[in-house]
Structure 1
Amino acid sequence: MILEALFNGELYPSENVVPKSDKFRQAGAEISETMRFFEEKLSKEDYERLERLMDRNADEGNMTSETQFKYGFTMGVLLMCEIFHSPFFPKAE
């Protein structure tokens, strides 16, 4: 049940929900390949700086996704409220 999972702290969409498309896997492989290239070319300090940049970029993407998720979820709830209060929605008596 969703309420039980929510209560028990078992819902982690940003960690558990990952695209399964070939395009997503290919992008990940290309990133890994590019990072290996730079690891061989850059000094240790410069490579660590590149890793920090990649981490901050991921953080920024996660914050954007979180904000978009909240907005979409809120819109869905508001849509449900509007539908339930609509004169076209059959009222239970």
Structure 2
Amino acid sequence: MILEALFNGEIYASENVVPKSDKFREATGEIARIMSFFEDKLSKEDYALLEKLCDSHADEGNMTNEVQFKYGFTMGVLMMCEIFHSPFFPPTK
């Protein structure tokens, strides 16, 4: 049941839902390739800073995705409320 899963913390889309497209796999492969390149070229300190930059960029993207998800979900719920209260959807008795 969805309410039980929410209550028990079993729903966490940013960890459980991962794109399965070839384009996504190519992008992650390219990131790994570029990071390997820089790992060989940079000092340990500079590479650690690059990793921190990548982590911060990922955090920023996750925060943006969260806000957009909340907005979209709220918009969907508001649309449902509007539909159920419209004169085109008469209440049943």
Class of the TM-score when normalised by the shorter of the 2 chains:
over 0.9
Deviation at 1:86, TM superposition (A): 0.5
Deviation at 1:11, TM superposition (A): 0.7
Matches within 5 A, 1:69-80: 69-80=69-80
Deviation at 1:90, TM superposition (A): 2.9
CA distance in structure 2 between the partners assigned to 1:47 and 1:9 by the alignment: 35
CA distance in structure 1 between the partners assigned to 2:46 and 2:29 by the alignment: 22
The list of structure 1 runs, each at least 4 consecutive aligned residues, that deviate by more than 3 angstroms after superposition, is none
Normalising to structure 2: TM-score of the pair?
0.98
CA distance in structure 2 between the partners assigned to 1:4 and 1:59 by the alignment: 28
* More off after superposition, 4-13 vs 30-39: 4-13
**1:19-63 CA distances to partner (integer Å, 9 max, x unpaired)?**
110000000000000000000000000000000000000000000
* Aligned alpha-carbon RMSD (Å): 0.6
Normalising to structure 1: TM-score of the pair?
0.98
CA distance in structure 2 between the partners assigned to 1:43 and 1:32 by the alignment: 18
* More off after superposition, 37-46 vs 2-11: 2-11
CA distance in structure 2 between the partners assigned to 1:28 and 1:83 by the alignment: 41
Supply the AA of the counterpart residue of 1:39.
Answer: E
Report sequence identity in percent: 76
Unaligned 5+ segments in structure 1 are none
CA distance in structure 2 between the partners assigned to 1:72 and 1:17 by the alignment: 17
Match of 1:59 in 2: 59
CA distance in structure 2 between the partners assigned to 1:70 and 1:16 by the alignment: 17
Match of 1:32 in 2: 32
CA distance in structure 1 between the partners assigned to 2:36 and 2:7 by the alignment: 42
Supply the AA of the counterpart residue of 2:43.
Answer: S
